Structure 1
Amino acid sequence: MALCLRIIYIITGLTGVHSITTVSKVSVKTGKSISIPCLYESKYRNHVKYLCEGSKWRSCNDVVKTNTADPSGKYSISDDKNQFFFTVTINNLTNENTDYWCVVEINNGPDYGKHFQLSVTSGTPSLYVDHQMITGYIGESITIRCHHSYSGEMKWCRLGRNCVTGSSGSIDGTTVTTYMSKPNVFTVTMSGLQSEDSGWYWCAKEDIQIPVYLTVTEKPITKLHLTSRSSSSV
């Protein structure tokens, strides 16, 4: 059924009716894992989402759904219905893991999807970060370093929002500054963090991106352990 619906989708020219926002291309290392965010329209918060593998929309294969786990452990998926994005994770990457689609299942109608591509290399990825999942604290700053093998302009973007392309700017009211700390390290600092800053971001150079998930939370309180000592009477 899913295959038929995808064919109808192409024939009737409905690809522009709906929208999913995701990366275009990500450079990744063989044997590692990568998590990819897929932003969808709020009206589809309760719909099934899934990941489809293959270069062609009409013939891609469903590999994991939000209502069906992948028994092999190769793929996993989670859905944030408050921020309207689902996240797919692909483990143990090989050079055969190249083309995928983020898909929203449409009840009684054609499903719709957005294509992204993985460039799997045995060497150093052309654009990468030290950690895909990072944590910051409310009111403080956090710095992300994007390592790249490109020259030219880099940018820092939030999924479904705006980008900072110069040395400074803001995203949703949070100050962002950027600079090249080394010839091949693009450094991003977000200052005055708010809980609302939690979400997916990415470093980008032309059509290459690397997604980063930021969790902003209260800073843990460090408890002091005081030792009391009673004096003995003489």
Structure 2
Amino acid sequence: MAHRLILFGFLLCTRGTLSMKTLNHVTVRTGGNVTIPCLYDDQYKLNQKYWCEGHLWTLCQIKAHTNKTAKWQVTDYPAKNIFTVQLNNLSASDSGYHWCAVEIGTHANPDDKESLYLTVKTDPDVSVVSSSVTGLEGGNISVQCFYSFGYKTAHKRWCRFKDKICYKEGRTNTSQNSSVQISDDGRESFTVLMTGLTESDSGWYWCSVGDLEVPVQLFVQWDTEKYRTSDNAGSAFPTCENDQTARHDTEDRNGILLLLWIAGPLLLLLMVVLLTWRIKRKHNGALVTQAPDATSMTEGPLCYDTVVFKKGKDHDQDQISTRRPADQDYEVIYSAVKLH
């Protein structure tokens, strides 16, 4: 009966560890820094992640939570189902068991977790020149891993974290047309050469010597110079300059549309005012033509319709004529006046 209780307790404490993945035994130099990757199941994207320290899970102490400021920093990347723990300024007292964990918090389904052992010492048995390397797509990267004399005959490997595929010494071709070559110089270091890099090669790896590991993060970036050359030759890949030109063209086009949107109503209003003014002016001119005043009638040449000449009192007989004699003084009577 006691054996059954012990087995039940063990299963209860270890339930969920198959989901979480991390490294096994990491070595770090005293006063140094290291970033630990922790891979979790897709169903835990929204759960709280944390870092716990202690030999036993039931007695471990939480040292950092996701997005909470503390001595160590936990950062979650839900799109990749991974969170990282940044450990800074490590000391020998930090050596021991640590846990990557996802908060679930029910008796039937306890928190998902996975442990690793951290060794902090002045002269670590395994180390790397840089824990972060960057390469160009289609290019190569080189990582140098160091080991102590006691691990000279141990197996050297380069492992990928997301699927835990490990490459041994020698040359290995991958399915992405890239290759991994591991060469041991026999002088306490070995070199990992990755050629023909692709974007899918980005991620976490580790140098492994025996049972010791050191994590390394690889970033694969686009070769912008290569795509610029290809674009000039008619390739479909755009360059940064073309992107900027297209963006500027779009901004100019938007500016013109905005100007038209503002100026359009103003131009329409101006046209209506001008049209109204012209109609009103034409109407006033018609009124003046139909009813001229006395002043306007006196302007311009006068034409007489009928002119009658009448003799003066000194003559014996009154005589009316439409012609004017040259030698006599006549009084002029106007019959009608027409204005042209």
| Same structural fold, with TM-score higher than 0.5 when normalized by the shorter chain | yes
Kept in 2, the 8 Å contact 1:157–1:203? The answer is yes
What is the distance in 2 between the residues matched to 1:172 and 1:185? Answer: 27
Matches within 5 A, 1:20-99: 20-70=20-70, 74-98=71-95, 99=97
Alignment partner for residue 193 of structure 2, among 182, 186, 189? 189
Instruction: Quote the sequence identity (%).
Output: 34
**Greater radius of gyration (CA):** 2
What is the distance in 2 between the residues matched to 1:184 and 1:220? Answer: 37
Which deviates the most, 11-20 or 180-189?
A: 11-20
Alignment partner for residue 209 of structure 1, among 210, 213, 230? 213
Partner AA of 1:193 in structure 2: L
Q: Show the counterpart of 1:231.
A: none
Answer yes or no: is 1:168 the counterpart of 2:166. no
- Unaligned segments of structure 1, at least 5 residues: 1-9, 224-234
What do you get for the CA RMSD once the two structures are aligned? Answer: 2.0
More strand by share: 1
1:58–1:50 Cα change, 3 Å: same
Q: Show the counterpart of 1:177.
A: 181
- Name the count of aligned residue pairs: 210
Give the TM-score, by structure 1 length: 0.83
Instruction: Indicate the SS of the match to 2:58.
Output: helix
Q: Show the counterpart of 1:105.
A: 103
Kept in 2, the 8 Å contact 1:163–1:171? The answer is no
What is the distance in 1 between the residues matched to 2:52 and 2:174? Answer: 31
- Unaligned segments of structure 2, at least 5 residues: 1-7, 229-340
State the 1:112 CA deviation. 2.1
Answer yes or no: is 1:156 the counterpart of 2:158. yes
Kept in 2, the 8 Å contact 1:158–1:171? The answer is no
1:175–1:21 Cα change, 3 Å: same
Answer yes or no: is 1:118 the counterpart of 2:118. yes
More helix by share: 2
Kept in 2, the 8 Å contact 1:168–1:175? The answer is yes
Which aligned runs of 4 or more in structure 1 are off by greater than 6 angstroms?
none
What is the distance in 2 between the residues matched to 1:170 and 1:111? Answer: 39
